[in-house]
Structure 1
């Protein structure tokens, strides 16, 4: 994945755009894996990520046109579907941010543990939306 394992986007701590029910339910249902549905979901749960979404969509579209290959667009949609799956669950998104911070702590042992936990979160997100493991 570009930049970092989680899209290269660091979302600010939960605020007005990211609240959850008392039962810990996801903020929104998992949207279909289409550009329009993912854009709408991101605008609701992580509006700060919209510029990156648009920039990466443009890059994927350009790569697809240049290579006459849909793979870049398919990767883009899969990566953002995983991102939305995680971000729509504030507790899971917060766990991921904590592990990302731990990975950057400079302690090699903690960084390895963090990388393992980040991988687990991403693998579970892939499975939850029906994608093959990374």
Structure 2
């Protein structure tokens, strides 16, 4: 695995490790208040980023060009902003970061849809 596929997958594994650690902490403390933020770290961070990485690995021509780089940037920024944003929202410290992360995440998926339909077919 190399290039964008590797970056997606490597970042996904970091998110998985952090998500598992956070889950263990919540279980040990008995405080599951932040479960929604934890779930988003696991689903957007681990599962979604890993699936993106797998796609780019299986369809390397899709990883070529600017669109895949834009996708990577939006996806990573989405996870980096939505998880702490949800944490802050649950803590009644504002929802702005969660909203920004949500927009970045859906834009990332929109770009991915475009990549799949324009670059995803075998040559």
TM-score by structure 2 length? 0.36
TM-score by structure 1 length? 0.34
